[in-house]
Amino acid sequence: MKKKTKIFIYILVGVLANILISVLIIIGSILVLPLFFKTNEKYHFDDIEEKTNTSFKTCKIISSKDTHGGFLGDGIKETIYKCDKTFDTSGIKKNWKKLPFSENLNIKLYGGAIKNGIQYPEKEDYPIPKIKNGYYYFIDQYSREYKDIKNIYSDEKLLNRYSYNFTLTVYDIDKNILYFYELDT
């Protein structure tokens, strides 16, 4: 075989090998990387499932909005789920807090109060309506991030900060609606 033909074959095989390797890397990334990265919503539900033995498999998303982005990733994530009649609420009733909300959460969600010298405006644009019969599960992400272990599930320090980083899940028993809300400021 001529020297030019051999060089051409080597170059062709090299190019094809690089293309094949690139395709395999892209396919692998698409299939494998999502297994390593969970959303905060997924972490939140995993946390609830682990601590309360509650499964959300029968709940389906009916609306979702996420404004996170930008340099610091601040934003709001709101997801509303409709749970079917087979949704097991025993873990919720046993381990979540019964509504009404604590004073701090009520002020943050619905406003119209003065606390610590701060006037909170009337209801901000939160997706959680006032619910009479339900339960809620709160995680203070600020306390979690700074290893303030005793306050992770408490909203006691919520209104004492300049920024809010919390996750709240509320279940309306009468309507079988589950509200997921995450605020990062």
Rounded to an integer, the average pLDDT of 65-91 is 81
User: Is residue 53 pLDDT above 80, yes or no?
Assistant: no
The Cα–Cα gap between 179 and 81 comes to 6
82 compared with 51, residue with greater pLDDT: 82
The helix (run of H) or strand (run of E) holding residue 103 is: helix 103-110
User: Is residue 172 pLDDT above 90, yes or no?
Assistant: yes
pLDDT of residue 174: 92
pLDDT digits (tens, 9 = 90+) for 108-145: 877 766 666 666 665 556 668 888 899 998 888 766 66
pLDDT of residue 34: 46
Taking a C-beta distance cutoff of 8 angstroms, is the pair 56, 82 a contact?
A: no
Q: At residue 146, what is the residue type?
A: Y
Rounded to an integer, the average pLDDT of 5-22 is 78
Could you tell me the residue ranges of all domains in the chain?
A: 1-36, 40-184
Rounded to an integer, the average pLDDT of 33-56 is 64
* Lowest-pLDDT choice from 56-60, 66-70, 80-84: 66-70
User: Is residue 93 pLDDT above 70, yes or no?
Assistant: yes
Taking a C-beta distance cutoff of 8 angstroms, is the pair 162, 171 a contact?
A: no
pLDDT of residue 54: 78
* Lowest-pLDDT choice from 14-18, 41-45, 70-74: 41-45
Taking a C-beta distance cutoff of 8 angstroms, is the pair 111, 161 a contact?
A: no
pTM score, two decimals? 0.69
Q: What are phi and psi of 21, to 5 degrees?
A: -65, -40
Which sign does the torsion angle of CA 18, 22, 24, 25 carry?
A: positive
106 compared with 31, residue with greater pLDDT: 106
Percent of the chain with pLDDT over 70: 72
Beta bridge partners of 113: 120
pLDDT of residue 33: 47
